[in-house]
Chains A and B, each alone.
Chain A
């Protein structure tokens, strides 16, 4: 199956895009939701500011879902939804949209991502504490296995673990441990004879990096381990149920902002990793666009990615042979090594009490692995073409056009969506909504399956924010561990001369200030991609600073309050969702209003054209993925603090 991950702005615009993609030969839908929808807030919530319609489509109620699927026959469609914390709700809305088309829920086919552990570990769009989150997943699995049998209720993502820095062994071990946690929870909610079909419905969403031989071995290793888990732990015997089913999005972490055209060949090689050997071939492949590191891809960029797959499938002889690694001792050896490493790491997770309890451990381990990867790139041990080697380049015609080669979302979208939600609320039957929400709360407090009450709420016209708030009232809210406390300090085996020099500078400035240089690392908005912020936090500590890091999802008011109360000398903000234009100036306003007059630096996916406006809003420095040298960033930051100290003294 071929699809591209898509959705933006509004339900109507995304619907247009889907229809266009289907006409081009795409055979399924992959829906990207915006961050407020993913985390359970309506467009008019404070945290939604600047995020509406940015990384996907906003879906607030059944009306939005009906519009999103307008003219697309849902009984014939295979729809993949990248939705996790609010997956039960979005599936509910999809079922109701199908009802309105006259399609029975039993005829629906598709996938909800629904993998909450990787949200705690890597992606950050969680809404409820771990326990209740696992219960919602188990409810969905139990519901769909009988009522929507063609639905994949969960798609366990090793993908994001690799983006967060996981080694192949960690990727295998953590994702399979995660699957075990889910299956253990489901085991309590369904009859034993259903465990075979349940096991068979669990699918995976894996990553494929550019080291494509090892990556292929990784997939074979996962298949072997998965089958063993099914047989040994859950007593599954049907070979159909035991098959390791996976879809792929190839690696974005390795895509570069420098010479972005090179990303095309990286994507092709990564696609080979998941297609080369038939016995471990992906069922569905999504390829990222060549310019993902720059901003939101346009339809043309996505078409290019689709064409890569079509060339592989229809021009090459890739699909004509049985498994080409059958009997290869090199491949078998690689696979055996990965299986052994993964088993050992899974045992560590089990010792922590399973994947849910081991979240802080796994998070710390990932932050460490990522730190090591960055160190290797900085030191040149690992080559990134166009970044730390062969960096000279001719001017690129691809990025030369006016908007810098990326899609810009109309800022009016947010205001329109806010107004639309308010209007929706005013036009529905309020008493019916109240009844539905009361029932939802009752079920949430009980041990009953959440799905019926969720679908009823969708029918009654409840909004995404209301559904999530009802559950937050019952379950409580939650902040995931940041992993930075668990991460080790700089490795003494690689004494960084560079870091030592920066430490001296930190000491010097600290002496001048009278107390240690203190930095606040903040992530405003709903964007949960915290890898960059975590690496900055860890490196700042290693450089000798006191670091206040509070994790993701902070409002400008929270950041300002922390900066004031903590008495920091500099504020670093990280933002990857594209909402920097709105959020960064609000943070700066909030800081100045609180009387905090310290330098502010910003890092993230920031298009060149936005750099000057940010600087005139008061930002001292802007860093993008091309600034891979964290030590240089540290040097700049200490310099800024030193200057400030000199001028204010």
Chain B
């Protein structure tokens, strides 16, 4: 453990928000995996911050909604970090990270941090750096948002690390409804219908989504209609719905579960189907993980999986 990782972890634990940019630079550094693992281990798994995944198709109004949410949280005195994951990497390896432009905040406000990251071409699952970043930031910030783009896959990915997953849909687009009915998309913790200023269309969408959720037996999942067009509406209701979901959670259990899923994804990415077979398949691996102590971080869980696979060979 270098003193840098250690110092950064300590500053984050002391809720020193100015340590966040340097911590993120370290976490994204591919040549310093050991330091990153050390940093994540030192910040611990008992973070108080609420990690919220916000996902939805392009054009659904995620960014305007986030502007309004950030404002509401800041007005309530809560600090906020947003990790905007951009999927647009090209053949060149480069990407255009434009999302932060759409989230308005006062640059003098030290209580808000926005960091854009490229998804980095990994298929399935969040980039490990994004996961580590969310865990590290949740120690220092009251709210950590992971913003991803897409429907059907992205909410599963973001559930690996988020305490609460909110899916954003715009009125009149049937995608989310179809995906939920077809079982392609898991039922999110909170569903948000944007552009409530459109009136009837938005109301109808909200009704349809509620009906679909009821028919799936998920009648407790809140559907919130919001408008980010001035004057913004529904934002307070959404904040309350997100808080209520978190209050209803057995947080340590959900996070332990998420870490297990992540560890398995990391292991599979590294060792492939052959590695999984050595563990008795996905199910066998999950059973094994469930037997481990609940407070272990992802890197340690991956190590345990590797040791077991090695032993089984």
Minimum C-beta distance from B234 to chain A (A)? 15
Are A476 and B101 closer than 8 Å at their CB atoms?
Answer: no
Specify which chain B residues have a CB less than 8 angstroms from the CB of A567 in the assembled complex.
Answer: 21, 24-25, 28, 115
Within 8 Å by CB of B88, from A129, A485, A557, lies A485
Which of A199-207, A259-267, A324-332, A547-555 forms contacts with chain B? Answer: A547-555
Are A476 and B107 closer than 8 Å at their CB atoms?
Answer: no
Specify which chain A residues have a CB less than 8 angstroms from the CB of B96 in the assembled complex.
Answer: 484-485, 537-538, 541, 547, 549
Specify which chain B residues have a CB less than 8 angstroms from the CB of A195 in the assembled complex.
Answer: none
Specify which chain A residues have a CB less than 8 angstroms from the CB of B97 in the assembled complex.
Answer: 546-549, 566
Are A514 and B90 closer than 8 Å at their CB atoms?
Answer: no
Against A, the Cβ 8 Å flags (1 = close, 0 = not) of B4-39 are 000000000000000011001100111110000000
CA distance A538 to B90 in the complex (A): 11
Are B95 and A547 closer than 8 Å at their CB atoms?
Answer: yes
Q: Is A224 an interface residue when CB atoms closer than 8 A count as contact?
A: no
Specify which chain B residues have a CB less than 8 angstroms from the CB of A499 in the assembled complex.
Answer: 92
Minimum C-beta distance from A522 to chain B (A)? 10
Minimum C-beta distance from A475 to chain B (A)? 6
CA distance A541 to B116 in the complex (A): 14
Specify which chain A residues have a CB less than 8 angstroms from the CB of B102 in the assembled complex.
Answer: 479
Are B100 and A515 closer than 8 Å at their CB atoms?
Answer: no
Which residues of A, 467-481, contact B by the 8 Å Cβ criterion?
Answer: 474-477, 479
CA distance A475 to B229 in the complex (A): 8
CA distance A477 to B232 in the complex (A): 12
Within 8 Å by CB of A565, from B21, B30, B229, B230, lies B21
Q: Is B98 an interface residue when CB atoms closer than 8 A count as contact?
A: yes
Against B, the Cβ 8 Å flags (1 = close, 0 = not) of A560-575 are 1110111100000000
Within 8 Å by CB of A507, from B32, B93, B107, B116, lies B93
Minimum C-beta distance from A440 to chain B (A)? 16
With contact pairs A514-B32, A515-B30 given, residues A565 and B115 touching in the complex (Cβ less than 8 Å): yes
Specify which chain B residues have a CB less than 8 angstroms from the CB of A564 in the assembled complex.
Answer: 21
With contact pairs A565-B114, A565-B115 given, residues A541 and B95 touching in the complex (Cβ less than 8 Å): yes
Are A550 and B100 closer than 8 Å at their CB atoms?
Answer: yes
Are A550 and B101 closer than 8 Å at their CB atoms?
Answer: yes
Are B21 and A489 closer than 8 Å at their CB atoms?
Answer: no
Specify which chain A residues have a CB less than 8 angstroms from the CB of B229 in the assembled complex.
Answer: 129, 476
Q: Is A542 an interface residue when CB atoms closer than 8 A count as contact?
A: yes
Specify which chain B residues have a CB less than 8 angstroms from the CB of A565 in the assembled complex.
Answer: 20-21, 113-115
Minimum C-beta distance from B115 to chain A (A)? 6
Against A, the Cβ 8 Å flags (1 = close, 0 = not) of B109-149 are 00001111010000000000000000000000000000000
Specify which chain B residues have a CB less than 8 angstroms from the CB of A547 in the assembled complex.
Answer: 94-97
Specify which chain B residues have a CB less than 8 angstroms from the CB of A474 in the assembled complex.
Answer: 230
Specify which chain A residues have a CB less than 8 angstroms from the CB of B21 in the assembled complex.
Answer: 564-567
Tell me which of B91, B95, B107, B118 has the highest count of chain A C-beta atoms within 10 A of its own C-beta: B107
Residues of A in contact (CB 8 Å), total 44
Are B90 and A489 closer than 8 Å at their CB atoms?
Answer: yes
Minimum C-beta distance from B195 to chain A (A)? 12
Minimum C-beta distance from B85 to chain A (A)? 12
Q: Is A503 an interface residue when CB atoms closer than 8 A count as contact?
A: yes
Q: Is B311 an interface residue when CB atoms closer than 8 A count as contact?
A: no
Within 8 Å by CB of A566, from B30, B93, B100, lies B100
Q: Is A66 an interface residue when CB atoms closer than 8 A count as contact?
A: no
CA distance A515 to B127 in the complex (A): 13
Specify which chain A residues have a CB less than 8 angstroms from the CB of B108 in the assembled complex.
Answer: 557, 561
Specify which chain A residues have a CB less than 8 angstroms from the CB of B100 in the assembled complex.
Answer: 548, 550, 562, 566
Minimum C-beta distance from A239 to chain B (A)? 41
Minimum C-beta distance from B280 to chain A (A)? 36
Within 8 Å by CB of B25, from A515, A541, A558, lies A515
Are B29 and A476 closer than 8 Å at their CB atoms?
Answer: no
Are A503 and B93 closer than 8 Å at their CB atoms?
Answer: yes
Are A515 and B92 closer than 8 Å at their CB atoms?
Answer: no
Q: Is A134 an interface residue when CB atoms closer than 8 A count as contact?
A: no
Q: Is A52 an interface residue when CB atoms closer than 8 A count as contact?
A: no
Q: Total A-B residue pairs with C-beta atoms closer than 8 Å?
A: 106
Are B95 and A479 closer than 8 Å at their CB atoms?
Answer: no
Specify which chain A residues have a CB less than 8 angstroms from the CB of B31 in the assembled complex.
Answer: 511, 514
Are A489 and B92 closer than 8 Å at their CB atoms?
Answer: yes
Minimum C-beta distance from B6 to chain A (A)? 18
Are A541 and B230 closer than 8 Å at their CB atoms?
Answer: no
With contact pairs A557-B108, A564-B21 given, residues A482 and B98 touching in the complex (Cβ less than 8 Å): yes
Specify which chain A residues have a CB less than 8 angstroms from the CB of B88 in the assembled complex.
Answer: 485
Q: Is A187 an interface residue when CB atoms closer than 8 A count as contact?
A: no
Q: Is A490 an interface residue when CB atoms closer than 8 A count as contact?
A: yes
Specify which chain B residues have a CB less than 8 angstroms from the CB of A544 in the assembled complex.
Answer: 92-94
With contact pairs A546-B118, A565-B113, A567-B24 given, residues A503 and B92 touching in the complex (Cβ less than 8 Å): yes
Closest to B58 in A: A485
Closest to A559 in B: B107
Which residues of A, 264-320, contact B by the 8 Å Cβ criterion?
Answer: none
Within 8 Å by CB of B90, from A129, A516, A542, A548, lies A542
With contact pairs A515-B29, A557-B107, A565-B21 given, residues A543 and B92 touching in the complex (Cβ less than 8 Å): yes
Are B107 and A543 closer than 8 Å at their CB atoms?
Answer: no
Minimum C-beta distance from A492 to chain B (A)? 8
CA distance A557 to B112 in the complex (A): 14
Specify which chain B residues have a CB less than 8 angstroms from the CB of A129 in the assembled complex.
Answer: 229
Q: Is A55 an interface residue when CB atoms closer than 8 A count as contact?
A: no
Closest to A548 in B: B97
Specify which chain A residues have a CB less than 8 angstroms from the CB of B24 in the assembled complex.
Answer: 567
Which residues of A, 114-147, contact B by the 8 Å Cβ criterion?
Answer: 129
Tell me which of A475, A515, A543 has the highest count of chain B C-beta atoms within 10 A of its own C-beta: A515
Specify which chain A residues have a CB less than 8 angstroms from the CB of B92 in the assembled complex.
Answer: 489-490, 499, 503, 541-544
Q: Is A545 an interface residue when CB atoms closer than 8 A count as contact?
A: yes
Specify which chain A residues have a CB less than 8 angstroms from the CB of B116 in the assembled complex.
Answer: 546, 548, 566
Minimum C-beta distance from A129 to chain B (A)? 7
Specify which chain A residues have a CB less than 8 angstroms from the CB of B29 in the assembled complex.
Answer: 513-515
Which residues of B, 62-115, contact A by the 8 Å Cβ criterion?
Answer: 88, 90-98, 100-102, 104, 107-108, 113-115
Specify which chain B residues have a CB less than 8 angstroms from the CB of A537 in the assembled complex.
Answer: 96
CA distance A558 to B94 in the complex (A): 23
Closest to B228 in A: A476
Minimum C-beta distance from B255 to chain A (A)? 25
Minimum C-beta distance from B226 to chain A (A)? 14
Are B107 and A566 closer than 8 Å at their CB atoms?
Answer: no
Specify which chain B residues have a CB less than 8 angstroms from the CB of A542 in the assembled complex.
Answer: 90, 92, 94
Within 8 Å by CB of B101, from A477, A482, A545, lies A482
Specify which chain A residues have a CB less than 8 angstroms from the CB of B20 in the assembled complex.
Answer: 565
Minimum C-beta distance from A473 to chain B (A)? 8
Are B93 and A516 closer than 8 Å at their CB atoms?
Answer: yes
8 smallest CB-CB distances across A and B, nearest first, come from A476-B230, A514-B29, A550-B101, A561-B107, A514-B31, A541-B94, A557-B107, A544-B94
Ordered by A's residue number, 15 sampled pairs between the chains whose C-beta atoms are within 8 Å are: A475-B230, A503-B93, A513-B29, A515-B29, A537-B96, A543-B92, A544-B92, A546-B94, A547-B97, A550-B98, A550-B101, A551-B98, A555-B107, A557-B108, A561-B107
**9 further A-B pairs in the complex, CB-CB below 8 A; given A129-B229, A476-B230, A547-B94:** A475-B230, A477-B104, A479-B104, A548-B97, A550-B100, A555-B107, A560-B107, A562-B114, A565-B115
